[in-house]
Structure 1
Amino acid sequence: MSSADAAIDDRQGLLRPPAAVLIVGLVMSVYVWVILATTVPYPGRIGLDYNTLGTDWMVFYGAIRSVLDGHASLVFDGDRFTAFLNATFADWLSKPLEFRPWAYPPSFLVLLLPFAPLGFFGSYVAFQVVSAALMAAALRLNAAGPGSSGVLLVMALLCPASAINVMDGQAVFLVVALIVAGLGLLEQRPVLCGLAMGLLTFKPQFCILVPLALIAAGQWRALWAAGLSALALAVASGLIFGWDLWLRWLPLMTENLVNPDAKWIEYGRLWGNSVYACASLLGAPQQLASAIQLLATIFAAGSVVLAFRSRLSTMEKTAVFLAATVLAAPHSGPYDQVLLVVAAAYWLMAQGRSQPLWCWTLMFMIWLVPIISPPLLFAPSRLAPLLTVTLIALVLRRALPMVKLPTR
């Protein structure tokens, strides 16, 4: 344990939200969870129309079932795959899906395989329960002290972003679990850290900063373990499902990087919360929006290097990594704000017992973003990346005096 970690432990890192922030935050959370409860019988009646529960899980489940049933080629044709989903889940959907392609590497299918025999609804519920339990276990193990873990779990599991994650059937709980558990093990169990962080390759947009963090920390064993973990997941997918999936996916992803699919931009990226989406919706042309996203990624990368070269506590480094991961991602959704809620909570816990009102105001604004998302429909949320940058800067302001300079 580092001296910074010990200092936080001494203060217990208690989270004590002011009464006004607590009440308003709970009301907002209850509202979004009520939207979840009413989405099937009354979609869009009291809030944003989510069509039905698990529309993103339809993509995940539809992909694994298609591959297992011998129709792998279907997965790599966005229009055909969307038509397949609309036909398969016609009884679930309140209206047809417009465009839902599979954009993930074949390695993701390995993680979905255990859930495939449960059917659509059973697998949807099981994945959310299992991934939420993994996130809760990771957060509990890496809380600053016994007095903080309960509030931290409530904040993470009941925040509006978590409700949206459950509504969509997304995988952000698993992403948080891998990052928090991995970085929590970095100093004492670097190999286990690397094994966990390598699994983030199932969603490539969330693993791009992993090598930078491990190199900056000088954790070469963790870096090698992360590479082996990612490779093992890829090899497992090839052995189980066939290498043809990789031969189809790699050219498709390369083409999308060079010449993005117009439908994916219209129905995917512009419905997200990324820097690219927000810049585009604020009027930036596509090339300028891409340049702004690149600058955000460079800032995120530099922030991670600075944090992991410093003597910040593990909790503060994790906060920077979580926030920087969201900022750098070329595509993210309102559910991915769970990463930012945990990051902000860690930052607050690092403040010790005294957490000023302005700190909780920033936390509340981060908490609120999913409710006023997506930016395509709610203009104020187009400025949300500024909150992420602010959070990173606030954590890093203590890092500069702590940076470990290389020795000759």
Structure 2
Amino acid sequence: MLTATLEQLQASPRKRTIYVRVILTLLAAVLVFKTFRFFEDGLWYGGQTTDFAAFHIVAQRIWLGDLDLTYQFASFTKMQLVAAGGTTGVMPWTYPPQFDLLLAPFALLPGWAAYFVFTTITLTAYLMTLRTIAGNNFALVLVIFFPAIAITIAGGQNGLLTAALIGLLCISAERRPVLAGLALGVMVIKPHLAIAAGVYILLTRRWPAVLMAAAVVVASSLICTLVFGPQIWMAWLGSIREAAGYLEEGRYQLFRMISAYAALYQAGLPAAGAFWGQIAMAGLALVAVALAVARGPSPRFALGVVAVASVMISPYAYDYDLPIVGIGLALLLPDLASLASPRERGAIYGLILLANAYGLLQSARLSAENGGASGLQRYMTPAVGGFALMVVLAMLLWLLLRDAKPAAVRLHGEPA
């Protein structure tokens, strides 16, 4: 039923156009509404931490010359409280210095204008990349991923930027490896989401891409060292250790996370058990990448598995990272039509849609009940998105093992 409903979106160009226009209009409305609220009430309205509010603070501290203090949770908490003008939610800062450098120009704009420019650019880049990859499936992917795209816009997060970079890598991997390497290198801003793509580049021996990615990482690291001073790296590493303890204590909004760690932790496992579950899931995700390269029906399908696996390696992955999975689904769809039955495709669509919508719906529910997603309920709310993606990965592995053929057969045809 779900398969037929969603795939009917592609029945005619007219239907596809209507759905695309409706979804794009809704996304634009979210962007305009949030910009207006930020203009009227500031980035901290409602007593909640907006992700872009933290981005803007970091950009400002760069020009004030004390960026390293943002990597100390106690200091960054004070900065957020001062900026909010009172009590608010707070978050640690763990992004690599390269992302700080990218944010620096946005300090020159008021918060609402910086949010609008950043989100408009990243949203446009993502939609253009997704449209190029999805083709006639663009409407279907937009419908499934509307909740994740909307929540990313609402928070001003960088999930659209990282998804656009992964998409550019996938578009360029076969014929423009240098451009693919450039995209992979820029993913240093969120390196835990680039592991699967890096493994793919190595397995397929795209050496120009490897060299370009390495050059980007080294060059950007040198620039950051010159701009921020060598102490920035120790500050960054210290924040990662602090954040690990933060995660172990369950102090993040785990119900919005999509990792195996969050799913298992919220299900009642101790932190150590959830961590080992995450390691096992990361291993399976990389096995899926290797299997897709060796036995996948096409390079496009293998890249789709790479994109899906990207969000399953690290314990720290949120619903705003799901636009990367949108790139993956767009790549997988042509081969899924022949590899998977309508029921199997419906299950994949439904599980991904659940992962997309769950965090948004739970945030809305908790906000309505408690005036904010906080307190005991927040810590007891299950992290369903992680379980949904685990099942999707299992289904992709099953399809690869059941129906795929060795690379020699895939490339040269069935033997006589």
Check whether TM > 0.5: yes
Q: Equivalent of 1:237, from 198, 212, 224? A: 224
**Take 1:264 and 1:117, find their aligned partners in 2: how far apart are those partners?**
36
Residue identity matched to 1:173: L
Q: Equivalent of 2:342, from 347, 353, 356? A: 356
- Residue 336 of structure 1 corresponds to 321
Q: Equivalent of 2:180, from 193, 200, 224? A: 193
- Residue 67 of structure 1 corresponds to 62
Residue identity matched to 2:179: L
- Residue 57 of structure 1 corresponds to 52
**Take 1:281 and 1:76, find their aligned partners in 2: how far apart are those partners?**
27
The CA deviation string for residues 319-353 of structure 1, in whole angstroms up to 9 with x for no partner, is 10111111112211112222223322332233459
Shift of 1:117: 1.4
Shift of 1:66: 1.1
Shift of 1:114: 3.1
Q: Equivalent of 1:286, from 271, 276, 287? A: 271
**Take 1:245 and 1:181, find their aligned partners in 2: how far apart are those partners?**
29
- Residue 163 of structure 1 corresponds to 150
- Residue 133 of structure 1 corresponds to 124
The CA deviation string for residues 161-196 of structure 1, in whole angstroms up to 9 with x for no partner, is 000001111111111111111121112111111111
- The 8 Å contact of residues 292 and 400 in structure 2, kept in 1 or not, is answered as yes
Q: Equivalent of 1:309, from 294, 314, 319? A: 294
**Take 2:64 and 2:309, find their aligned partners in 1: how far apart are those partners?**
39
- The 8 Å contact of residues 133 and 331 in structure 2, kept in 1 or not, is answered as no
Q: Is structure 2 residue 179 aligned with structure 1 residue 184?
A: no
TM, length-normalised to structure 1: 0.78
Q: Equivalent of 1:274, from 243, 246, 259? A: 259
- Residue 121 of structure 1 corresponds to 112
- The 8 Å contact of residues 54 and 169 in structure 1, kept in 2 or not, is answered as no
- Residue 3 of structure 2 corresponds to none
Shift of 1:102: 0.6
Closer/same/farther in 2, CA of residues 391 and 212 from structure 1, 3 Å limit: same
TM, length-normalised to structure 2: 0.77
Closer/same/farther in 2, CA of residues 264 and 282 from structure 1, 3 Å limit: closer
Closer/same/farther in 2, CA of residues 99 and 212 from structure 1, 3 Å limit: same
- The 8 Å contact of residues 104 and 202 in structure 1, kept in 2 or not, is answered as yes
For structure 1, the residue ranges without an aligned partner over 5 or more in a row are 1-13, 43-49
The CA deviation string for residues 72-96 of structure 1, in whole angstroms up to 9 with x for no partner, is 2320221321221122133xxxx83
The CA deviation string for residues 238-277 of structure 1, in whole angstroms up to 9 with x for no partner, is 2223222113212443x348x6246874125565221101
- The 8 Å contact of residues 194 and 223 in structure 1, kept in 2 or not, is answered as yes
Q: Equivalent of 1:384, from 377, 388, 393? A: 388
**Take 1:25 and 1:207, find their aligned partners in 2: how far apart are those partners?**
29
- Residue 227 of structure 1 corresponds to 214
**Take 2:24 and 2:383, find their aligned partners in 1: how far apart are those partners?**
21
Closer/same/farther in 2, CA of residues 37 and 281 from structure 1, 3 Å limit: farther
- The 8 Å contact of residues 40 and 52 in structure 1, kept in 2 or not, is answered as no
Q: Is structure 2 residue 356 aligned with structure 1 residue 370?
A: yes
Closer/same/farther in 2, CA of residues 287 and 264 from structure 1, 3 Å limit: closer
- Residue 9 of structure 1 corresponds to none
- Residue 396 of structure 1 corresponds to 400
Q: Is structure 2 residue 139 aligned with structure 1 residue 151?
A: yes
- Residue 10 of structure 1 corresponds to none
- Residue 101 of structure 1 corresponds to 92
Q: Is structure 2 residue 76 aligned with structure 1 residue 81?
A: yes
Shift of 1:200: 0.8
- The 8 Å contact of residues 319 and 346 in structure 1, kept in 2 or not, is answered as yes
Determine what percentage of the aligned residue pairs are the same residue.
25
**Take 1:116 and 1:394, find their aligned partners in 2: how far apart are those partners?**
48
State which drifts further: 112-121 or 355-364.
Answer: 355-364
Shift of 1:159: 0.8
Q: Please report the RMSD computed on the Cα atoms of aligned residues, expressed in angstroms.
A: 3.8
Give the secondary structure class of the aligned counterpart of 1:283: coil
Residue identity matched to 2:235: R
Q: Equivalent of 1:205, from 179, 192, 201? A: 192
Closer/same/farther in 2, CA of residues 267 and 333 from structure 1, 3 Å limit: same
Closer/same/farther in 2, CA of residues 303 and 243 from structure 1, 3 Å limit: same
Q: Equivalent of 2:281, from 277, 290, 296? A: 296
Q: How many residues align?
A: 374
**Take 1:33 and 1:333, find their aligned partners in 2: how far apart are those partners?**
22
State which drifts further: 107-116 or 122-131.
Answer: 107-116
Give the secondary structure class of the aligned counterpart of 2:110: helix
**Take 1:272 and 1:246, find their aligned partners in 2: how far apart are those partners?**
27
The CA deviation string for residues 348-382 of structure 1, in whole angstroms up to 9 with x for no partner, is 23345998354144213312323222695356545
Shift of 1:297: 0.7
